[in-house]
Structure 1
Amino acid sequence: MNRSCVNCLKTMIVHLHFLCWLCSAFVVAFGEFQMMHSRFASLVTTFWPIYPANTLVVTGTIATCVCYLGVLGGMRENRCMLISFFILLFILMLVELAMACVFLVYNREIHTYFERDLMQSLEIYRQSSPEGNKTIKEDFDAVQHLFSCCGVHGPADWKGNIPISCCAKDPCNAVNQPNWEEGCLEKLQGWFAGNYLSTGAGVVTMFILQFVCLCITIPFFCHFSRHGLGYQ
């Protein structure tokens, strides 16, 4: 491979790795945005580790660091950096693939846990003192107000002690309070499904871009290996 081909490949690698770094940084920013604007995490604690925002932030942060290593390795034509980038990115891609399999295999179980966690949160809310468990109370009130719903399956879940966030009118008359009749379970499940869809689309896009980066790094690394270069 002559030097002009090497320079062309180097330019392509640097730009692709930088694009991968930008996409990873965007994924982190999107995950942080979801964390700041999503107030429902305290209500569904069973699968908190695979909460969409957490998944995006963790995966994106690791990918950002790995892609930055690839950018440096390509710019400096450093063989050690390139092989480290290749190994770390390959491992990351395996983890992303495993996460996708977990989402597919445990999809039905997640819905079961979802209902159980919401019922537990509702009971904690219902039995708490006015000053107790403020996070759960604020999150449940936010869900009921945002999705125009009441309880998990309906107002009957509150057993007569219905919070004002269930009120269907604004301003609400607490003496004769009309409540939303629909439960929050299906609406919140739909919201989570949409978030998992956007999370999955982001992970798949990253996976494809990472795969392209791996494929184009191989000939660049092999060139240095054959000529004993790339250790500076």
Structure 2
Amino acid sequence: MAQRCLKFLKYTMCVANFLCFCCGMAVLGLGVYMMVNFRMAALLPTLVIINIDKMLLICGIVITCVSFLGFLGALKENRCLLLMYFLLLFLLMLVELTAACLLLVFEGQVATMIEDDLNKSLKEAKANSTDPVLSEWDLVQNNFDCCGVNNVTDWEDNVPKSCCLSKCSSPEPPYKRTGCLVKLKTLFEDNFLTTGISVIVLCIIEVLGMCFAMTLFCHISRSGLGYKL
């Protein structure tokens, strides 16, 4: 009975880590796609280090590496690989919890930095109509259905076409009323609870993965198959 349970545990780990590996590859591909097509460094230079595309790229690489390590360790019943898998999951959980706590503590400062970056980039876009910052503003204003930082008056006499609700050829075209800063804040607030729940669920999955890995590790140690290849 114990052998059947351990075999079930082993193949469950293999299947779960294979699915995580596929998810990691998908996240990695999404990060590469966003890095190529959505460049926001000129729009938010202060927060360039935490750009979503780079975060997705790093997360995809980490997920694929760790899941492959867990899959191979469970399949081969290798004690060293299982121990490395356990330690990496533990470190990842600590990093996730630390990042979540820092986000809670510095939430207000991050919002202030975003506002300052938007104001600076908008000033640059108004000064030069051919600047790449303007194309990024067009991208944001089209995707979020907004105009300017606070409203259309931020653009003064250089209102871009992406601010128009319809055609801009009329003498007084209708403009989008909501500013992009409000839209971005609303987006973060709406996804704040979802992000928190996702972190909690991810930590639970990681704890289960660590428990499974340590159970297999102890069984392999007792059976004398610690260095099976």
Q: Using the TM superposition, give the Cα deviation of residue 124 of structure 1 relative to its aligned residue in structure 2, in angstroms.
A: 0.8
Q: Using the TM superposition, give the Cα deviation of residue 148 of structure 1 relative to its aligned residue in structure 2, in angstroms.
A: 3.4
**Residue 151 of structure 1: aligned partner:** 148
Residue aligned with 1:56, SS: helix
Q: Using the TM superposition, give the Cα deviation of residue 203 of structure 1 relative to its aligned residue in structure 2, in angstroms.
A: 4.3
**Alpha-carbon distance in structure 2 between the residues aligned to 1:163 and 1:2:** 69
Cα 1:137/1:51, change in 2 over 3 Å? same
**Alpha-carbon distance in structure 2 between the residues aligned to 1:103 and 1:65:** 26
**Alpha-carbon distance in structure 2 between the residues aligned to 1:193 and 1:40:** 20
Residue aligned with 1:42, SS: coil
Question: 2:115 aligned with 1:118, yes or no?
Answer: no
What aligned pairs does 1:170-209 form with structure 2 within 5 A after superposition? 170=167, 172-173=168-169, 175-194=171-190, 202-209=198-205
**Alpha-carbon distance in structure 1 between the residues aligned to 2:143 and 2:9:** 51
**Alpha-carbon distance in structure 2 between the residues aligned to 1:204 and 1:41:** 30
**Residue 72 of structure 1: aligned partner:** 72
**Residue 207 of structure 2: aligned partner:** 211
Q: Give TM-score, length-normalised by structure 2.
A: 0.84
**Alpha-carbon distance in structure 2 between the residues aligned to 1:37 and 1:197:** 28
Tell me, yes or no, if the aligned pair for 1:40 and 1:140 is still in contact at 8 Å.
no
Q: Using the TM superposition, give the Cα deviation of residue 85 of structure 1 relative to its aligned residue in structure 2, in angstroms.
A: 1.1
Instruction: State, as a whole percentage, how many aligned pairs show the same letter.
Output: 39
Tell me, yes or no, if the aligned pair for 1:17 and 1:213 is still in contact at 8 Å.
no
Question: 2:95 aligned with 1:95, yes or no?
Answer: yes
Tell me, yes or no, if the aligned pair for 2:83 and 2:214 is still in contact at 8 Å.
no
What root-mean-square deviation, in Å, do the aligned CA atoms of Structure 1 and Structure 2 show? 2.7
**Alpha-carbon distance in structure 1 between the residues aligned to 2:174 and 2:117:** 26
**Alpha-carbon distance in structure 2 between the residues aligned to 1:200 and 1:57:** 21
Bigger mean CA offset, 156-165 vs 137-146: 156-165
**Residue 104 of structure 2: aligned partner:** 104
Q: Which amino acid aligns with 1:218?
A: M
**Alpha-carbon distance in structure 2 between the residues aligned to 1:202 and 1:29:** 20
Q: Using the TM superposition, give the Cα deviation of residue 87 of structure 1 relative to its aligned residue in structure 2, in angstroms.
A: 1.1
Residue aligned with 2:42, SS: helix
**Alpha-carbon distance in structure 1 between the residues aligned to 2:142 and 2:11:** 52
**Alpha-carbon distance in structure 2 between the residues aligned to 1:198 and 1:27:** 18
Question: 2:146 aligned with 1:160, yes or no?
Answer: no
Q: Give TM-score, length-normalised by structure 1.
A: 0.83
**Alpha-carbon distance in structure 2 between the residues aligned to 1:201 and 1:30:** 22
What aligned pairs does 1:3-82 form with structure 2 within 5 A after superposition? 3-32=3-32, 35=35, 38=38, 40=40, 42-82=42-82
**1:73-96 superposed Cα distances (whole Å, 9 cap, x missing partner):** 111111111111111121112111
Gaps of 5+ in 1: none
Gaps of 5+ in 2: none
Cα 1:61/1:197, change in 2 over 3 Å? farther
